[in-house]
Structure 1
Amino acid sequence: MDSIGVRRKALDHMTDHADWLRTQVTTLVTDISLARTAEKLSLRMSQRTLRVGWTTVLFFHVFHAVYSALLAYTYHYLSKPEMNYYVRLLRMMPQENYTWVPPLYGCIGAMNFYSALKMACYSLYYRRLVFHKMAAPCIENTTDTGAERTGRAAEEERTTNFNFAKRFAKGLAQAVSARGEWFDVVLLMREMAEIVSQTAQAYFCSFLISSVWVNQVFSGLIFLNAIINTLVHFTLEDKVGLRRLYCSAVDLALDFAWGFIIPCQIVVVYVSMFVANEQGFPESFYYSDTLFIKAILECNQFFMVSWLDAITTTLPYLDMLSGLESVKFLIQQDMKVTPTSSSVKVQPIGPSATFASAGPLASAIIKRESESRERQSEDNQSAWGKRITKSIQVLMPLWGLVVLVTSITASGVFFGGEDTCAMGCKLRMHPWFAHQCACSVMEINCYERGIAGREDETRGLLKSLDARVLNSLIISHCPALVVTEEIRRFGSLMSLELYNSTVVEWPSSASLSLPYVPSLVTVFIVRSRFGDGLPEGLTTDLAPNIVDIEFAASDLGGPLPDDLDEKWSSVLMLYIEYCGLQEFPRALARMEATDLSLVGNNISAIPEDLALAGTWMYLMVDRNPLETIPENFGELADLYFLTIQHSNITLLPQWLAKLQGEEGATNLRAFDTPYCRSLAVDSQEAELARCDKASLGDGIFPLAMKDELRAIGE
């Protein structure tokens, strides 16, 4: 009996809780369905203030429409197949994910354009500045009989589920609108979400943007957003309409700076460079120590690189559109339409105009009812709800202050201690909470540091670097370099270069493999030496993201491995220039590379029986003592560019001679060859072989530029 009583008591307790919860939900739904307009919303705007506000809103709509259209076109352009190389190069979101981006920004631009057009057209119609169609005042029908009114009331009471849902949706829309009772709660939640989103963006910005002022502006905007909104809430607590208007206006201004001004300052540099170089970038851009890395990082800040980034990038534009609608709604509802005999007149009103339109007794009754509703609305808000709201409004400026102080501290401008990476850092970063050398592009120059590059020296230097921000590592002038496993710490490393260094040891424990170097794309070996062939660290489990390996004027320590095609199966661009190769490595023919350059070696013949992978698009064998081109090269259906300049070739193979002049034929460069010297200067064959001038005859890799950059100072 005791156990049955306990279970019955527990069941009754659960039933009571369920009834209480059902009552609370029903009350909430009913309150939403019967949502009223908030009190004290009158703005009492003068005509001059209205003109300024109207012009400002129109400017934001037009600018937003144009900017969104440009973004839509930009992402549409980036989705083209010919732009896939640059999309991957700049590490942006894959092209297949761009299908929804242009329509999204197109819709945002269309909505802004429609709003601007509606403002202009209705202003011309009413002969006064308005934002949209003015609603005529409701006139009570005094001819209705009592029976008719009673019948309509009875019919309205018979509410179906559909009508209830419709009334709930209408009430919810009214409650969260700029003039609704719940707008302050919605605005506070929106501000909190916005500050959290902006804080996340500012944090990632500290890893992507090297400019101190840009990082400080981002954190400063967060602080201003928090402090100004809180000040507005406290100073205009009783003036509901002005408080909502100022909060919305502040959000608009900050979103404009966050979403338009700063990104434009960043991206316009690269867009102008891309256009000026006929939809491409100059060679100096790709091989610069800092320009290319900086472009990747800054474009990652501006363009979408992930789904999370897509949300945080789009949020300011949607928030600005919502803010514009709130501002217009607040100002427009402060106006009324009064029909006249010949036209429609628009004039500003306030609460006093409502009371003045009735008699003295009616005015007093209306005023008392309004005050009663206001007191009832305030009483409905629980004390704990008010305390939470006040607490959030107090904490928001503190949050903004913490973000600002954190960013200033990271910049080292005012609270900078000892500079941990003054030597060799070419692109300094300012990430939050950094305790090591925060450098994006670091050159470890053994000559300047007075070291040889031995194991303990290399290990200590690599440990001193902040692994979160290192994107490019250059090791130069090291006579006894040992590459240690600390190189695997750098998950953000995109480029690795060895210059004028002798690699004594590079074991497999320090190999460039996954999951350690997921971002590494390029490896440059320039004027360096390997003792016994390619080291294990460069050939063991090479990460598939490494697609570009370039050797220039280096001693490879012997022939290339016969299974190099298996070890470097993901490499698409392989340049081995001025490296003293004596024969054409067979493994290269089996590699699925698209670009192969063997310029400046000592290759006198290419075997006729090579097993070709058939993926070559660019093949450069200039400055080799070649005498013939194999006939089986005709099987390379995708071969677009072939250079044989400064070689000993006297005749072209039949497949190449037949293709000359045809559409889709291989582009041939044969300057300074016996073949060109045997042709008449003005012959068609000489023109097709570009016999009159050299083209990339000294190789792809800019060796002279690197020598100038890496020169040892006196």
Structure 2
Amino acid sequence: MCPGCVEEGDGFVVEQASFTVVPPTTAGRKSNPRAPTEPTEPLSELAFVVVWLLLLAFHGLCAAYLLAMAMLYFFMENPLMAYYTNLLALPEHRYFRLFGILVGMLGALHGLQLVLHLLWSIKARTPAVFPRAAMTLRVVKFFQGLKKTKTRPVESTSSRSRSSISSISAFTTAGLQDMLSVEGNHFALVFLVRKAVEAGAQIVQCHRYSTLIGRVWINHAYAAMVVVNCWVTPLLDYLMLASDSRATKKASTRNVVKEIAAVSIRERTICVTVDTLMAMMACLVLPLAIFVPYVQVFDASWYGFPMEILYGDVSFPNLIRENQALFALTFVDAVTKLVPHLSILFGMASISLILELHSPRSFRRRGRIVSAGTSLVVAQGKPRDSKALTGTVSKRGGSKPVVGLTFLRRVGAPLCFVAAGAAILGLHLHAAHLANRADSKTMAMCLQGLRPWFAENVSCSVLEYSCHSHGVLTPPGDALDHLQSDAVTAIVFEHCTEFEMPPSILRFRNLLGLELWNVSIAKWGEDAALNARLHPDMIYLVMVYTNMTEMPQGLLTIPLPPLLGDIEISITNLTVIPDELAVAWSNVRLVYLEHTPLEAFPTALFKIPSLSVSLLDDGLETIPDDLFTTVSLLDEYLEVCFSYNPIKELPSSIREGLLINYLSIDHTELTELPAWVDDVGQWINLGGCLVCNDTDPKVPGIAGCTDWGWDPMVDGRYPLALVAPLREIN
């Protein structure tokens, strides 16, 4: 080992001069970066182990969460998840793979730190951390060595560049450690700036939660966390400021050698740990509370959720809105989600430096004697006097404080944090007050409330308006005018004998879905038509037990909402589907028209890009022979259902390249099957079909003749048996 060097507990050999405590000078500011500040006292064995365990736990939790989120972002881009992913955002406005890469990089950094700490602990055979400070010092000395390397009398361009790079690199590495170390000159300023940015990002996310999430306890918890974060931050900074003041005061007395040990690092350790823990609560606990229940019910075998969620009045809108709050949908949303995680990473870097610089084992290795009353600082084999020690503490505390920064830290920043917390609390309480003052009739039809911060009226996410309960034949034109327009996401109109669509439907810009149940449509004209500009997020329309002799004009007026891809109609008295529907419904991806006495085959439904078409129990006797050759526009269908229709033959041929994955022709009057059914992709349901009555039926291997005896009125594609109990008249 080199003369004048000592061996660290982590196995690194560092020059003894690096331990020297020197008074501040102006010369050091000219070019050479300052070595890391000498630790004042070690942590106790118990404190070290506790903080070390917390550090590993924090890194492990963050790595697991962030890497899982990164995988989830990529999983959502799986084609089999396209339906659900498109509910969150359109492909042209979605950057899930990019966000997944960024989140994965953060998770990998946490995982790398965890592995390094564990490896160094195994190497040292005791709890230890990766020696970031020692490594940084090595890098600094390496670049300084490059700068001092002898060069020719005429300095070349490459040597000048190398000298500049070495200076910049040395300054950067030392400066980074100075900002991360709790004893660094810039730590307090960096801490305040970091917390301000983190609080701003959390405020943005808290407001987003208030507009998307209806579960009250989640909004209460998030608002409470943000308020506590804003109010605790000045307190943490005050504790660190008080610690600096006490250290400077004690170092100025005659008893400096005895009292300098009291300048403890524990207060800053506690502050940084508490701050990191609060950030993790908001970044990890609440998102997991939202997402885990959906993971538990998700069926990975068919990439879907149970029917109870998909057709629940509240559960389906919540599925969409809550996951919109969880995933990053825009760049601003992504930044405000990543900032707190970056803050956590910086906080844990500071904790790691605390453990490295204040390890009891490192102090014992250096021959440092620490007692309750005295602390001897050895520098190059000679004890320093009180002036040197005073200089060190003054340098850390700041011997020449800048008036503006002092005012900012003592007055400006605390006031801003306290005011921000008070504003958030006030907005949250205002939203809660609006929700609590709603009249009983409004709350009776509100199945899911919301508490957006800047609402002026009662906010209701899911509405169920029953004409029978209100004693009216149709909703009055102003029936929904007193509701917060941007809060409504789903509306159910039910039990109306002379239903007229209220024009107030045009007010609800964030409407996701509309359902009509047991209504007789008297009027649904262009003045209340669904509109692409006014309903840009609408995705589904359901009409069940609906009396209408023709398709309402409100569903044929162009342009319909661009995301309206799911239209389900069951049990109506429609007899004809107009051809103009093919133009108006040009964005529909799933259409069910069941239990409808059609007089003609609805070819318009095969001129739209619908992946799933169900014509179950519609009284159809014939299917156009050119349906799958010239009428159909698609190259692939997920499902085509002709079940419970008295059809006697299928089209004789289909277009080359057209794929039907699931074909349901059970309980029909088919006596033979065309050759193209052999090319069906996944399954053919023939149960109850005449072709299965033969002793040796000639059916494809993927076809099933089992007749389960199910009732089409109960077990159609639209789940009448599931939804009907929710619509009973009370």
In structure 1, runs of 5+ residues without a counterpart are 1-27, 139-148
Say how many residue pairs are matched: 659
Aligned to 2:418: 397
Contact 2:529 2:553 in 1 (8 A): no
Aligned to 1:23: none
Aligned to 2:227: 223
In structure 2, runs of 5+ residues without a counterpart are 1-25, 138-147, 155-159, 245-264
Aligned to 2:483: 465
Aligned to 1:144: none
Aligned to 2:386: 364
Contact 1:497 1:525 in 2 (8 A): yes
Aligned to 2:254: none
Contact 2:472 2:496 in 1 (8 A): yes
Whole-Å separation in 1 of the counterparts to 2:372 and 2:74: 48
Match among 591, 602, 614 for residue 619 of structure 2: 602
Whole-Å separation in 2 of the counterparts to 1:612 and 1:29: 85
Any residues of structure 2 matched to 1:107-506 within 5 Å, and which? 107-133=105-131, 135=134, 161-170=164-173, 172-178=175-181, 179-240=183-244, 241-275=265-299, 279-335=303-359, 353-355=375-377, 362-370=384-392, 373=395, 377-379=398-400, 381-389=401-409, 390-412=411-433, 416=437, 418=439, 421-453=442-474, 457=476, 459-506=477-524
Aligned to 1:77: 75
Q: Which amino acid aligns with 1:528?
A: T
Q: Which amino acid aligns with 1:333?
A: L
Any residues of structure 2 matched to 1:491-530 within 5 Å, and which? 491-530=509-548
Q: Deviations over 1:255-283 (max 9, x none)?
A: 22112222222211111111477542222
Contact 1:29 1:168 in 2 (8 A): no
Aligned to 2:650: 629
Aligned to 1:674: 690
Aligned to 2:587: 570
TM-score normalised over the length of structure 1: 0.83
TM-score normalised over the length of structure 2: 0.81
Q: Shift in Å at residue 231 of structure 1?
A: 1.6
Whole-Å separation in 2 of the counterparts to 1:219 and 1:647: 58
Q: Shift in Å at residue 89 of structure 1?
A: 3.4
Any residues of structure 2 matched to 1:87-106 within 5 Å, and which? 87-91=85-89, 97-106=95-104
Contact 2:467 2:474 in 1 (8 A): yes
Aligned to 1:560: 577
Aligned to 2:15: none
Contact 1:336 1:347 in 2 (8 A): no
Q: Shift in Å at residue 115 of structure 1?
A: 1.9
Q: Shift in Å at residue 710 of structure 1?
A: 0.9
Contact 1:480 1:503 in 2 (8 A): yes
CA change 1:524–1:359 in 2 (3 A) is closer
Aligned to 1:582: 599
Aligned to 2:45: 47
Whole-Å separation in 2 of the counterparts to 1:383 and 1:589: 75
Aligned to 2:64: 66
Q: Shift in Å at residue 39 of structure 1?
A: 7.6
Q: Deviations over 1:648-690 (max 9, x none)?
A: 222212333xx2xx6x54632122122112244xx56387431
Contact 2:368 2:377 in 1 (8 A): no
Contact 1:90 1:300 in 2 (8 A): yes
* CA RMSD in angstroms, aligned pairs only: 3.7
Q: Shift in Å at residue 704 of structure 1?
A: 2.7
Whole-Å separation in 1 of the counterparts to 2:320 and 2:691: 43
Q: Deviations over 1:227-253 (max 9, x none)?
A: 222122224423244454333212211
Contact 2:556 2:584 in 1 (8 A): no
Contact 1:90 1:295 in 2 (8 A): no
Match among 687, 702, 706 for residue 692 of structure 1: 706
Contact 1:41 1:242 in 2 (8 A): no
Aligned to 1:535: 553
CA change 1:117–1:171 in 2 (3 A) is closer
Q: Shift in Å at residue 207 of structure 1?
A: 1.7
Q: Shift in Å at residue 629 of structure 1?
A: 0.8
Which stretch shows the higher mean deviation, 264-273 or 669-678? 669-678
Q: Which amino acid aligns with 2:631?
A: L
Which stretch shows the higher mean deviation, 159-168 or 120-129? 159-168
Whole-Å separation in 1 of the counterparts to 2:226 and 2:444: 34
Q: Which amino acid aligns with 1:70?
A: A
Which stretch shows the higher mean deviation, 91-100 or 123-132? 91-100
Q: Shift in Å at residue 323 of structure 1?
A: 0.9
Contact 1:42 1:351 in 2 (8 A): no
Whole-Å separation in 1 of the counterparts to 2:242 and 2:368: 27
Q: Deviations over 1:357-407 (max 9, x none)?
A: 6899841341354366468x342x332332223221133123213312422
- SS of 2:429's equivalent? helix
CA change 1:603–1:543 in 2 (3 A) is same
Whole-Å separation in 1 of the counterparts to 2:314 and 2:394: 68
Q: Deviations over 1:173-220 (max 9, x none)?
A: 244232321121111011111111111111111122222221111111
Q: Shift in Å at residue 592 of structure 1?
A: 2.4
Q: Which amino acid aligns with 1:602?
A: G
Q: Deviations over 1:114-162 (max 9, x none)?
A: 3223223323433443212374999xxxxxxxxxx9x99x99xx99544
